[in-house]
Amino acid sequence: MQYTHLGRSGLLVSRLCLGTMNFGPQTSEEGSHQIMDHALELGVNFFDTANVYGWKIGEGWTEQIIGRWFAQGGGRREKTVIATKLFGKMGEWPNQSRISALHIRQACEESLKRMQTDYIDLYQMHHIDRECPWDEVWQAMDVLVQQGKVLYVGSSNFAGWHIARANETAKARHFVGLVSEQSLYNLNARAVELEVVPACKEYGLGLIPWSPLAGGLLGGALQKASEGRRASEQVQTNISKYRDKLEKYEALCKELGESPADVAIAWLLSNPVVTAPIIGPRTLDQLEGSLRAFDIELTAETIGKLDEIFPGHKTAPEDYAW
């Protein structure tokens, strides 16, 4: 396994991040525990979750599964860099969502209880809260850091200017600020290259791409169009929409002798701003298969061909000006 620093921090994390969104709704608790155990065996030490995962309001189903896994001992908690998120609705009362100081405090305490741990390695804001001032957010986060309940703070789904404003406000308060940003980023979704990627580079944030396979589109969707979730109406619609690109992409992957999924992950890993793409395996075989991406070295010529199929963005404002 390869490791890198999480952004400008001193924290070392694996270059693949284990996503847990399937744990509970798609993968049984026993299967989830097996996947996490095997991830540690493979050297994957970076796990990502969120208090809303499990999709039962207020229950934190996925965090509970992780907590019962931690409770088994054997160094599971000590070996794991756990990242979770807050923002989403966790109850019916007005302050049981978003990132007010009150909800930050409550959400953190609840996540700690569910995961049966006394600290969160990376506490991420799942979305921007345009109605909450940054001084309030950082004051609340600073208290959690001083109490030892949170070690690092990250963002998710932020715009570039949100990252800039957040970290400039943190700097004025002599607080570390954001060390990571979790964004939608894959060959077929490259909008973050306009402003988010440059902001991450400038402020030293590690970029954690979610949906690296575009919901299965980049995982050999044409060959597996009738299998699993690829058979869903939404995926079939996307396959029809992007069929021309997918045909060229899968042909290029065949020419390289590599699977489309591995090439998609390898492409993200080739970006120095990217810390770790989030993989969401539902089985042990899917987890092991993701490791092949480390052995793929994409040449400049191949990256150029990928850019022709999936055009990216220049840094703003050059992308839309001169």
The 10s digit of each residue's pLDDT in 104-130 is 999 999 999 999 999 999 999 999 999
Q: Are strands 278-279 and 150-156 parallel, antiparallel or unpaired?
A: unpaired
Q: Is residue 312 part of a domain?
A: no
Residues 6+ apart with CB under 8 A from 55: 25, 61
CATH assignment at residue 56: 3.20.20.100
**Which domain covers residue 160, as residue numbers?**
3-216+259-299
* Exposure on the CB side of residue 19, measured as CA atoms within 13 A: 20
CB of 278 within 8 A of CB of 212? yes
pLDDT tier at 281, thresholds 50, 70, 90:
confident
Task: Classify residue 305: in a domain, yes or no.
Answer: no
Tell me if 141 is assigned to some domain.
yes
Each residue of 36-89: pLDDT tens digit?
999 999 999 999 999 999 999 999 999 999 999 999 999 999 999 999 999 999
Yes or no: say if 121 and 81 are a contact pair by the CB < 8 Å rule.
yes
Per the structure, the count of domains in the chain is: 1
Any domain includes 237: no
224 within domain boundaries: no
Q: Would you say residue 241 lies in a domain?
A: no
Residue 162 pLDDT grade (very low, low, confident, very high; cuts 50, 70, 90)? very high
The answer to whether residue 7 is domain-embedded is yes
Contact of 315 with 190, CB cutoff 8 Å: no
Q: Considering the domain boundaries, does residue 306 fall inside one?
A: no
Position 227 scores a pLDDT of 57
| Contact status, residue 7 vs residue 275, Cβ threshold 8 Å | yes
The Cα 183–Cα 191 span in angstroms is 10
Which residues are the active-site residues? 53
